[in-house]
Amino acid sequence: MSEILYAQLIAVGAGALLLTSVLMVWRHSVLASIRLLATQGVALAFLVAVMGIHEAEAELLAVSILVLALKGVALPWVLARNSATIGSTGDSSRLNPTAALMSVVLLTTLAYVVSWPLVGTATDPAEHAVPIGIAMVLIGFLLLVTRRRARSQLIGFLLLDNGIAAVAFLISGGVSVLLELGVSLDLLVVVVILHVFTGRMRSKFGQTDVDQLRELHD
Amino acid sequence: MTAVTAGLAAQLVLALLSSVLTFSVPARARSRVSGISCALISTAGAATGALALAGGRGSLTIPLALPVDPLTLSPDRLGGLFMLVASAVGILVSVYGISYAHGPSASRTSWAALAFFLVGMQLVPAAADAMSFLLMWEVMALASTALLLADHAHGRQVSSATVWYSAMSQLSFLLLLGGFTVLSAAAESTSFSAMRAVSSQSPTASIVFVILILGFGSKAGLVPLHVWLPRAHPEAPSHISAAMSAAMVKMGVYGALLVCIRLLPDGPAWWGVLLLILGGISAMYGILQAAVASDVKKLLAYSTTENVGLIFLGLGASMLLRSYDATAAADVAIIAALFLVVSHAAFKAPLFLGAGSILHATGERNLDRLGGLGRRMPWTGAAFGIASLGAAALPITSGFVAEWMLLQGLIHGARVDGELVSLPVSIAMPLAVAVIALTAGLALLTFVKAYGIAFLARPRSPAAASAHEVPALMRIAPLIGAVAILALGLLPGPVAVALASAIGPEAVMNVRTIGLAGVGLPSIGALLDPVGLLIAAALVAIPVLTIIVVTSKRHPQRVAKLVWGGGGERNNPRMQYTATSYAEPLLRVFDDVLQPSRDVQVTHVDESRYLVQRIKVEQRVSDRVETGLYRPVLSFADRIGVLARRLQNGSIHRYLGYSFAALLVVLVAVSL
Amino acid sequence: MNWSALIIAVIQVVFFVLLAPLLIGVMRQVRAKLEGRVGAGIWQPWRDLRKLLVKDPVRAEDSSWLQRAAPVTLLVSSLLLCVLFPLVGAMTVTLIPGDLFVVVSVLLIGVVALALVGLDSGTAFGGMGSSRHMMVAALVEPTLLLAVYALSIPTNSSTLAIIVETRLETPAVILSPVSMLAMVALIIAIMAETGRLPVDNPSTHLEVTMLHEAMLLESSGRDLAWLELGSSLKLAALLGLVANLLVPWGIATTSSALAVIIGLVAIAVKVLLLGGLLAAGEVFLAKVRLFRVPELVAGSFALSFLAVTASYLIA
Amino acid sequence: MSVKRLAGLIRRTGQIAEPSPPAPELFEGAAVLGGSAHVRYIDAGGGNDCGSEIAAAFGPVYDVERYGGHLAASPRHADVLLVTGAVTQNLAEPLRRTVEATSTPRFVIAVGDSAINGGVFAQGYGVAGAVSDFVTVDLEVPGSPPEPAEIVAALRRMTGR
């Protein structure tokens, strides 16, 4: 495919990633965040596929399918199913939403600043999108720090992982299938465990507001 | 002996003359005589400034007995510009003062002080060496302090304001003294021309820059050195606050420009960033405080902080861009900053004078107790309204042109012919644009509030209801200012060119007059022709107006007794929104920034605590910088003072003991 | 002086004066249909305007000349928008190009005029509406300016006509993530600026929930007509701008009669379509609390800011 | 809100307004309104029965809006004043003020017997009289309370549609 088209597609994918991350901070309802997470997974898979086609690497295409299956379908599905059973609704953030959005702006700017030395001189459009991956990592951390409910913290965690994956793909032009497979499976396990855990928390304490979990029980 | 020299001399002579006159003429003629003579001082200043701006040269040298270079006054184009601005304001203030000054503010001292204040202010930008600069600066500072102190009889606010003001202005003086000392030590001369030899990249330069910017910043009212503004401006007599806010504050700006483009040009990039940050913070903080203020003069004072912030933002942006060789945009930005200076002088003078007229007519400064003045004081209302439009930066006023140029400079700054300039620029410019935009939006709200609450709707207090239009001179002065605002806004082209010439010949390349008198920025391909805009508006307005004329013949307007209040009898003016309630949503939105202190007291009926008898809500917005930064320092200083007092308890023996100890110390020192 | 641009500007003004009430009519009709009502027909706003012009306006003793002047000001500012925007044709009148910042400030003139009407009425509700209206306007301005800034970067010019033309020539720009972010932000800002849901409910009768309407409570007769027409013109013009930024095709770039006719048809279709979509969307929206509005605006601000920085740093 | 769900909703709701009967003849003088009557509803006293009928008239079933009727938020915007109920002592003056506040040409419609002649409330201790005792009434809608259809008919005589 032509370089211009390639750059365009990369930009679209990256833009989608950024947009979904911002919206995750913007929206409060957990279900909306999960939908966004799915969209993000699809966008990530799309990004990988574009790179694969551009570099004509079958492996990358395989990875993209894997990403689609895991980040785009499996993880959100698990989350959504669990949320549906609990009928979870909105989540109150520690930060007031306006401040959170402003800090998203600052974090993204920061991402650009720190990644400037890396990509400032790069020619490959993929590497120009690296800052967005870093921004996703930072935003993921922000969600982890500020959200109250364990589940939406989990979403933050997944966003963070998406960010790491995005950076990995964009810089190295793709990690090996095996590695990606391993990481994703670990992730799946983590998510499942955390779900069981939150389920227990709910059944034990009636809610999963992490703020309430101060003293240890035996 | 050139015309400029003559003008400089004339100002000094007139100042002495006017103070003599003030002390000689009888009390009833005093205001008229002194006012006119002050106006003459400023007229001379205006003429001189205009000549200097046009490129006229000339210097006045006053030899000193001291072993230093003689005092030299020799304004360049930039100095001429600021002299012109200060003098123009001075004329308005003097004319206004003739009718306005009364009681203490019409005393001999006050009028003499005004004369010296004006001349000092007008000659600061004329100074060609550090000595004369500092001398004129101090004359300005002391005279203004005296003026501020004029009605100290009226309670503690005045005296406390004076204390704050004199403390801050002396602090700034000391900083300037220090800065200029270091610089002249490096240059081995006190003359500005020699100081240019000092390299801007040297560490000394950076130290000097920071010290001087702090010094000038405190006079200009930059956050966090602005604390004197919201105290001094409301308490000073209104024409004095007009002079302070519209002219004196600009001297701080002039100082900053002197340092940044004359003494230490082409400094490192972080200077620009520093100014950018200072300016941005001042602009936002100032306008936020102004938006929630309900004392009209306090509101205007904070809006001064905002405008100075914008000016420094423009200056900083221009320095940053220049250090990355985006010269075209840099020039546009700094011309915009100068335009802001002129425009702010043009609209802030009438605003403060208008506030003075309101005070004179109603005795009220609190917007919450005003209203309906538009019909009672039409002339003042018109002037204040136009000035408010200028302050809100709406077309076709000067404020709009200034902000337009600034924004154009910023958005074209990050790229020079398609190439990205640098990372800091490409992050700083969007932030700057965002800051300016938010500031402009809030300024809009602030001045809609100021004008709408004070002049529209129905009077909220008997004082406002019984208001009357002020004497002729007090109507004329603000109106002249209003006309100036519109003139600057409609014919910005020539003005911009003149301002560019004050910066330097290469800046003139980047701005030209378009159309009738529109301003064009050829280097970044943007143009603005307010006259054209006005004509277009007139053209589209014609059909509408014709329809109105036609229909209003057949369907005349009917005047109803009451505003629609649900048909009830109780429909009194207290039901209207006040300034406080107008800003309340904003206060809530920016709760975290402003942190207002709310206090709600509910008194229940004795019989049952379920029935409420009275609810008292009190809400106060205090200046967080003051409470957070200055209070601790001051209390610390107090504690030191208490300790120091222990040293002196008046006992002879202790003093003898001190001197004995001193003697011993000296002996030991000598013996070593 | 390029006369063709001037003529097109005149055409735009006349056409949009005709179109704006129709747009409101269509939007109300769509809403009515979705609510299962019959609806008053798309010409109803025209009937309302006509009627208001033949009524005798009433003003209270305490109100001032602004009660009459401000509505005209609002209308004139909206008409100026129609002159400055590239709606039918993407040419610029030589001395008054549709410069972004000029356009925004012309918009704000209308905003201020409306706010002053609200204050001048001297009622509790007028002041309330005016205060809320100004707060929203103040908070929206950064988004507005940054969004248009982001759009101006690819063309390196702040003239709307040039921006639209560039998008017409290189459609790739439209799909670039930068422009998508900017458009989303811009649309949110415009919704807030024109007092549509979820910021304000244009069809409310509860004074306490009003922003825009509360300021008009005192106006009557032709004053009210100007205010209504001015507001609808503003909405139409802004929708037209958004439409031309999203799908610039059809806009006249030459001043041939055919091109102009195509331009007229295209813009009419675009605006009415966009309006219909907007109305359909509004059926499913509830007005957010006034103090949730800053949140919405902050979100759009974040998007527009990211659009600007991204446009510098990605591409 | 997905498009599918939207379409489903539209299909399920459909049009619930009743078919419109033939238009009554135009009220003399109401031609000036030209098919647009903005209505301000004034409850001058009495029970809330007429009020609820008026509410029904503006609901989706009777749907006055299709004939150009529209509830206004302020008498300044109104052309037609719907007055219900026997005017009580306390509301006589507000009634006058409201009519005064309405921009001319304006039309007053008294809705319900109690508004026309006091109805069952006539001679009540708190009742000051019928609407026509205080303001000039142009049109009367008898009935206690009148059916929404009759109110709609009255308004259609104003809009002429």
Interface test with D, best of B559, B564, B571 (most D CBs within 10 A): B564
- CA dist C79 and C66 (Å) reads 19
Contact between D148 and D18 under an 8 Å Cβ cutoff? The reply is no
The verdict on residue B205 lying in a domain is: no
Across all residues in chain C, what is the average pLDDT? 87
- CA dist B519 and B512 (Å) reads 6
Cβ-Cβ contacts under 8 Å for C112 (sequence gap 6 or more): B392, B394, B444, B448
Range of weakest confidence among A60-64, A166-170, B198-202, B651-655 = B651-655
The verdict on residue B48 lying in a domain is: no
| Min distance C284 CA to chain B CA atoms (Å) | 27
Contact between B272 and B427 under an 8 Å Cβ cutoff? The reply is no
| Min distance D104 CA to chain B CA atoms (Å) | 9
* B645 vs C75, residue with greater confidence: C75
Range of the domain at B615: 584-620
Give residue-wise pLDDT tens across range D86-133: 999 989 988 988 898 898 889 999 999 888 988 888 888 889 889 999
Q: Which residues in chain A are contacts of C295 at CB distance < 8 A? A: 97-98, 101
Q: What's the helix, strand, coil split of chain C in %, to 5? A: 75, 0, 25
Is the CB of residue D20 less than 8 Å away from at least one CB of chain C?
A: yes
| Min distance B631 CA to chain A CA atoms (Å) | 28
Cβ-Cβ contacts under 8 Å for B422 (sequence gap 6 or more): B324
- CA dist C128 and B585 (Å) reads 10
Query: C279-295: buried (b, 16+ CB within 10 Å) or exposed (e) per residue?
Result: bbebbeeebeebeebbb
- CA dist D86 and A135 (Å) reads 69
Range of weakest confidence among C80-89, C99-108, D20-29 = D20-29
The verdict on residue A129 lying in a domain is: yes
Give residue-wise pLDDT tens across range C62-71: 788 888 899 9
How many of the other CB atoms lie within 10 Å of CB of C73?
A: 21
Interface test with C, best of A26, A46, A106, A115 (most C CBs within 10 A): A26
Chain D, window 122-161: residues with a beta carbon less than 8 angstroms from a chain B beta carbon: none
Q: Which residues in chain A are contacts of C181 at CB distance < 8 A? A: 15, 18-19
- Banded pLDDT at B235 (limits 50, 70, 90): confident
The verdict on residue A218 lying in a domain is: no
Q: Are residues B422 and B349 in the same domain?
A: yes
Which among C39, C205, C218 is the nearest to D65, CB-wise?
A: C39
Tell which residue, A107, A110, A207, has the closest CA to residue A152.
A207
| Beta bridge partner(s), residue B513 | B519
Is the CB of residue B408 less than 8 Å away from at least one CB of chain C?
A: yes
Enter the tokens of residue A115: 């990644």
Enter the tokens of residue A197: 């855990």
Enter the tokens of residue C211: 């922003």
Q: How many domains does chain B have?
A: 3
Please write down the HEC assignment for all residues of chain D. Answer: CCHHHHHHHHHHHCCCCCCCCCCCCCCCCHHHHCCCEEEEEEECCCCCHHHHHHHHHCCCCCCHHHHCEEECCCHHHCCEEEEECCEEHHHHHHHHHHHHHCCCCCEEEEECHHHHHCHHHCCCCCEEECHHHCCCCCEEECCCCCCHHHHHHHHHHHHCC
Residue of A nearest to C293 (CA): A98
Alpha helices of B363-377 — where are they, by DSSP H? 373-376
pLDDT of residue D3: 65
Q: Are residues B458 and B446 in the same domain?
A: yes
Tell which residue, B342, B556, B532, has the closest CA to residue C57.
B556
Across all residues in chain A, what is the average pLDDT? 76
Across all residues in chain B, what is the average pLDDT? 88
C15's enclosing H/E stretch is helix C3-34
In chain B, pLDDT over 90 holds for what percent of residues? 46
Q: Are residues B640 and B541 in the same domain?
A: no
| Beta bridge partner(s), residue D82 | D41, D109
B618's enclosing H/E stretch is strand B612-620
Give residue-wise pLDDT tens across range B584-611: 888 888 888 888 888 888 888 888 888 8
What mean pLDDT comes out for the span B657-668? 85
- Banded pLDDT at A92 (limits 50, 70, 90): low
| Beta bridge partner(s), residue B603 | B614
Q: How many domains does chain A have?
A: 1
Q: Hey, which of A58-72, A148-162, B310-324, C174-188 has the most confident mean pLDDT? A: B310-324
Contact between B280 and B435 under an 8 Å Cβ cutoff? The reply is yes
Chain D, window 109-138: residues with a beta carbon less than 8 angstroms from a chain C beta carbon: none
Range of the domain at D63: 22-159
Give residue-wise pLDDT tens across range A111-128: 888 887 777 666 677 777
The verdict on residue B653 lying in a domain is: yes
Q: Which residues in chain B are contacts of C76 at CB distance < 8 A? A: 537, 540-541, 544
The verdict on residue B530 lying in a domain is: yes
Interface test with C, best of D64, D103, D107 (most C CBs within 10 A): D103
- CA dist B324 and B327 (Å) reads 8
- CA dist D153 and D147 (Å) reads 10
| Min distance C91 CA to chain A CA atoms (Å) | 29
What mean pLDDT comes out for the span D11-16? 68
Do B and A share at least 3 CB pairs under 8 Å? yes
Q: Which subunits sit against B, judged by 3+ Cβ pairs under 8 A? A: A, C, D
pLDDT of residue B450: 94
Residue spans per domain, chain C: 3-313
Would you mind telling me the total number of residues written for chain D in this entry? 161
- Banded pLDDT at A90 (limits 50, 70, 90): low
Is the CB of residue D100 less than 8 Å away from at least one CB of chain B?
A: yes
**Using the beta-carbon criterion (under 8 Å), do B573 and C122 form an inter-chain contact?**
yes
What mean pLDDT comes out for the span C185-193? 89
Report the amino acid identity of residue B529: D
Cβ-Cβ contacts under 8 Å for A117 (sequence gap 6 or more): none
* B144 vs C174, residue with greater confidence: B144
Is the CB of residue D105 less than 8 Å away from at least one CB of chain B?
A: no
Residue of B nearest to D92 (CA): B567
The verdict on residue D6 lying in a domain is: no
The verdict on residue B414 lying in a domain is: yes
Three-state secondary structure call for residue C60: strand
Cα-Cα-Cα-Cα dihedral of B527, B532, B533, B534, to 10°?
A: 150
Cα separations in angstroms, C103 against B404, B654, C70 = 11, 76, 19
**Using the beta-carbon criterion (under 8 Å), do A98 and C310 form an inter-chain contact?**
no
**Residue indicated by tokens 């698990």:** A78
pLDDT of residue A159: 87
Q: Which subunits sit against D, judged by 3+ Cβ pairs under 8 A? A: B, C
Which among A16, A18, A97 is the nearest to C306, CB-wise?
A: A18
pLDDT of residue B484: 95
The verdict on residue D3 lying in a domain is: no
**Using the beta-carbon criterion (under 8 Å), do B561 and D100 form an inter-chain contact?**
yes
Range of weakest confidence among B538-542, B628-632, C104-108 = B628-632
Cα-Cα-Cα-Cα dihedral of C9, C12, C18, C19, to 10°?
A: -150
Burial (0-12, 13-18, 19+ Cβ within 10 Å), B615 = exposed
* B639 vs B650, residue with greater confidence: B639
Contact between C274 and C215 under an 8 Å Cβ cutoff? The reply is no
Inter-chain Cβ pairs, chain A and chain C, closer than 8 A: 69
Q: Which residues in chain D are contacts of B554 at CB distance < 8 A? A: none
Using a CB–CB cut-off of 8 Å, the residues of C that contact A are 172, 175-178, 180-181, 184, 294-295, 298-299, 301-303, 305-306, 309-310, 313-315
pLDDT of residue B555: 86
Tell which residue, B155, B116, B158, has the closest CA to residue B136.
B116
Tell which residue, A168, A142, A153, has the closest CA to residue A47.
A168
**Using the beta-carbon criterion (under 8 Å), do C299 and A16 form an inter-chain contact?**
no
Residue of D nearest to C31 (CA): D10
ipTM above 0.90, yes or no: no
Contact between C37 and D66 under an 8 Å Cβ cutoff? The reply is yes
How many of the other CB atoms lie within 10 Å of CB of B104?
A: 16
The verdict on residue A137 lying in a domain is: yes
What mean pLDDT comes out for the span B316-322? 92
Which among C75, C95, C308 is the nearest to B518, CB-wise?
A: C95
| Beta bridge partner(s), residue B415 | B420
Cα separations in angstroms, C50 against B39, C222, D34 = 57, 9, 8
Q: B234: cis peptide before it, omega within 30°?
A: no
The verdict on residue D69 lying in a domain is: yes
Is the CB of residue B556 less than 8 Å away from at least one CB of chain D?
A: no
Q: Tell me B605's DSSP state.
A: P
Q: Are residues B541 and B612 in the same domain?
A: no
**Using the beta-carbon criterion (under 8 Å), do A109 and C298 form an inter-chain contact?**
no
Range of the domain at A19: 3-211
Report the amino acid identity of residue C301: F
Q: Which residues in chain C are contacts of D36 at CB distance < 8 A? A: 44, 47-48, 50-51
Tell which residue, D144, D129, D143, D155, has the closest CA to residue D39.
D155
Contact between B25 and B129 under an 8 Å Cβ cutoff? The reply is no
CATH number of the domain to which D152 belongs: 3.40.50.12280
Half-sphere exposure of B338 (CA within 13 A, CB side): 29
The verdict on residue A8 lying in a domain is: yes
Do B and D share at least 3 CB pairs under 8 Å? yes
Which among A96, A99, A113 is the nearest to B423, CB-wise?
A: A113
